[in-house]
Amino acid sequence: MKKKFSPLMIAHLVLMLLVLIFSVFNMIKVFSYLGAGPANTAPTIIYGVCSVFNAAAMCAGILYLWNEYGKKAAILYKSFLYLNVVVTVLMLVVNILVDGQTALKIPAIVILGVKAVILLVMTFKKDLGKKNTWTLFLALLILDVAGVVLMFIGMGANLIIHEIHGAAARLINAGTIALAIRGKYADKDRRGTK
C-alpha cells in the first residue's frame, strides 16, 4: 500500500534526516579522533556515544512517522522520546565533566537537568493530554533556546562552527519533537480519542 504523506510529514521527515545525518557525521568525526592523545577523554567518548543515541532517536522517529503516527506505533514515539532523554543525560554528564566557566556551566547543567526531567515526564506519564504535552514542549523549547544562548556566550573563536552546528542541531531536534507530538495528537483526533 502506497503511503501518502502530508507536506508537514515530509517536513518532519526532512528535519529528522538532517539530525540523523548530522549525528552520523558527528559520530564518525568523534570516534575517528579516539586514540589521538588529548581527544581520548571521557567527555569526548560520551559526546560520541551521545551522537549514537541521537541517531537512534531519529531512526525511531522516522519509523514512527512511517507508520503515520498510529496507535500501533506508539512504542516508537516513546522510544523516540526516551532516546532524547538518554541524549540529554549524556550531555548533562559531559557538561559536568568538562572544565569551563562556572558562571555558564551551572546554568547549562540546570537547563539540561530540567530538560531531562520534562522529557521523562513526557515519555512515561500516561494520559498527559494535548494541552499539558504542548505546555511541556514549550518549556523544552525555552530551555533549548536558553541553552543555545549560553553556548554562544561561552564559545571561543576557534569553536564558532562547532557551536553553530550544535545550536542548529539542538533547535532542529526540538522541531522534530514538536512534529512528533503534533502527529500523535492528529492521529488521536482522527480516531476520536483524547
Chain-centroid distance of CA 36 in Å reads: 28
Cα torsion through 183, 186, 188, 191, rounded to 10: -130
Contact 49/156 with Cβ under 8 angstroms? no
Cell output for 155? 564559545
Least confident of 24-33, 118-127, 159-168, 171-180: 159-168
Asked if 187 and 77 count as a contact pair (C-beta separation under 8 A), the reply is no
Q: Is the pLDDT of residue 113 over 90?
A: yes
Q: What pLDDT score does 40 carry?
A: 55
Alpha-carbon gap, residue 150 to 135, rounded angstroms? 23
Q: What is the pLDDT of residue 146?
A: 92
Q: What is the structure's pLDDT at 2?
A: 63
CA distance 31 to 146: 29
Alpha-carbon Rg of the chain, whole angstroms?
17
CB 113 within 8 A of CB 94: no
Range from 11-20, 25-34, 144-153 carrying the lowest mean pLDDT = 25-34
pLDDT for residue 160: 62
Sign of CA dihedral 119, 78, 50, 156: negative
| 158 pLDDT above the threshold of 60 | no
The mean pLDDT of 111-132, rounded to a whole number, is 92
Q: pTM of the prediction?
A: 0.86
User: Which of 121-125, 156-160, 175-179 is predicted with the least confidence, judged by mean pLDDT?
Assistant: 156-160
Across residues 151-162, what is the average pLDDT? 64
Alpha carbon dihedral 180, 186, 191, 194, in 10-degree steps, equals 80
- What integer is the mean pLDDT of 56-75? 92
